[in-house]
Amino acid sequence: MLRRRLGVLFTAVLLTPAFVLFFVSSPDLSGEQALVQRVAEMRERLHHAEMLNQQRLQDVMVLSQKFNTILQPILQKNGTGYGQQLSKETRMLLSNLSRSSAPDLHLPSIYSYLPHLLRSPESTSPAFKLSRGRHSVSLVLGVPTVRREVQSYLMTTLANLITSMTPQEMKECLIVVFVAEWDIDYVHQLASQIERKFPEHLESGLLEVISPPESFYPDMNNLRQTLGDPMERVRWRTKQNLDFAFLMMYAQPKGTFYVQLEDDIQTKKGYIATMKKFALQKTAEKKNWFVLDFCQLGFIGKTFKTIDLSALVTFLLVFHNDKPCDWLLDHLVQNKVCRFDQPSKHCKKAKENVWIHYKPSLFQHIGTHSSLKGKVQKLKDKQFGKIQLFFPHNNPRASVETMIKPYKTYTLQRAYRGESYFWGLLPQQGDKLLFNFDPPVSLKGFLFRSGNVEHPSDRLYNTTVEVLPVQPLSRLPHNIRTKLKVTNDSYLIIGEFDDMGVAEGSVQEGLGVVRSLRLSVHEESDNWAILSEIHILTPDSR
């Protein structure tokens, strides 16, 4: 019945103005290709709706069985309980509701593999959830993150994922940040940081933040030692398996496709359109794929139909203590398609039909410090290409100088000319980065970005942007003199770096021609500092 109704809906959607608009507004697809991909997309949405319906039917069945168990004592004909106090009509109604007998089979469930969950009903709900309830999206992007001892790449990763989307794609996707930590204070702190950095995307529903309860996990000090690994590594990979399972179960009902990512990656412009087009193309070709692989490293960029996540989640739960997640994924695919009475080359070919690789890769791993303590991994996907580490601009002519010692050839002069980025050693309180304009210029605005994707923690902290006008301060308009703070050497403070290491702003009219601009560091830093973008805007800037 559901399939018939959805089939009618499916046909109706193809005739809607929205579909016709999509059909005629796909410049990179022929009319026939656009139609085929749209049909493939609707087919996948139909399968997802059927999956949700099956889940609701399972819920109804469980409730019916529990209801039957509760009603049996009441409906005993010769009993002396509440049943004797009910009217005949009420007893008949309850009898009809409890016709199904108790099942003879006990079906496996998550409690079969994690029996400790039975002691804590709240274990299968997030301990923290920041969400606008977005659902029915095309792609759900799962971004698990943990506290890192050296440096965090999360904000850089999220900014890159979001800015690489079009406005329309932002409406069709959902990014779930999964904070895999049990320290609720840390979770709240990280969520607040995300709120400050991406308020509009949290409000729109594009971004969600969740964290799991500690009670979801078994006693991590009572695991079996497997594969001959040290117990620290066994605990790390066991927790990662359960982290991924929790995240996938949360994401499954929210969209058609699910993409597993990490918190230290970068992507390319147009990645959403590329992934969706590739998935629908393989679906339209009747490819019975299980994994679409958009990165050659680990679990990054692995894409699944959400209707297939149940099999993967079950596999992760059953073998959570036994092997790493990427090995388990490989075993699952192998068990689905490989014969054990044939040479391995036949298995490899069979796996290639359901585990399809896309080239060139859409994601690159940028982190060097693993979430496993002490593990350094410099893995790079060679098919991705180069990552942009700095952003050049055509700035007004100026001489530049700084007291901060540069690392190798990463000088401030080269950064200002757009040839590289500036990388300085351990800024100290009182250090300056000075730009003397020759000739003096009128300023419209400025943008300074510190840190880059490979070293996101090498930022400028507690640093102000200051200018020295050619005119004496006494001749400047009253509103400028009263609004802007003045340093002891007559510089006006026009901006400062935020907690993401960015200083951006416009310059008030009336300031006149400016002789110099400088960045003033007001506290000692524990990190080196990178200036990856220097953009000084004048009336002639383009």
Structure token digits, residue 537:
């805007």
Q: What is the CA radius of gyration of the chain?
A: 29
- Summarize pLDDT for 382-417 with one digit per residue, the tens: 667 778 889 999 999 999 999 999 999 999 999 999
Q: What is the DSSP string of 440-509?
A: EEE--EEEEEE--SS-TT----SEEEEEEESS-GGGS-HHHHHHSEE-TTS-EEEEE--TTSEEEEE--T
Minimum mean pLDDT among 98-102, 314-318, 431-435, 461-465: which range? 98-102
pLDDT of residue 77: 53
Q: Which helix (H) or strand (E) covers residue 50, if one does?
A: helix 31-75
Taking the whole predicted model, whether its pTM rises above 0.85 is answered as no
Contact 325, 240 (CB under 8 A): yes
End-to-end Cα, the chain, rounded Å = 60
3-state secondary structure 198-262: CHHHHHHCCEEEEECCHHHCCCCCCCCCCCCCCHHHHHHHHHHHHHHHHHHHHHHHHEEEEEECC
Q: Which helix (H) or strand (E) covers residue 111, if one does?
A: helix 110-113
Higher pLDDT, 55 or 501: 501
pLDDT of residue 24: 38
SS3 assignment, position 345:
helix
Please return the burial class of 115, using the count of CB atoms within 10 Å of its CB with bins 0-12, 13-18 and 19+.
exposed
Cis before 439? omega within 30: yes
The residue-averaged pLDDT of 14-24 equals 39
pLDDT of residue 32: 73
Structure token digits, residue 202:
């949290």
- Summarize pLDDT for 37-88 with one digit per residue, the tens: 777 778 788 878 877 777 777 777 666 666 666 656 655 554 555 555 667 6
Asked if residue 4 has pLDDT above 70, the reply is no
Q: What is the DSSP string of 287-310?
A: ---SEEES-SSTTTTEEEEGGGHH
| Contacts (Cβ under 8 Å, ≥6 apart) of 295 | 265, 301, 302, 361, 362, 363, 364, 365, 381, 384
- Summarize pLDDT for 215-232 with one digit per residue, the tens: 999 999 999 999 999 999
Q: Which helix (H) or strand (E) covers residue 535, if one does?
A: strand 529-537
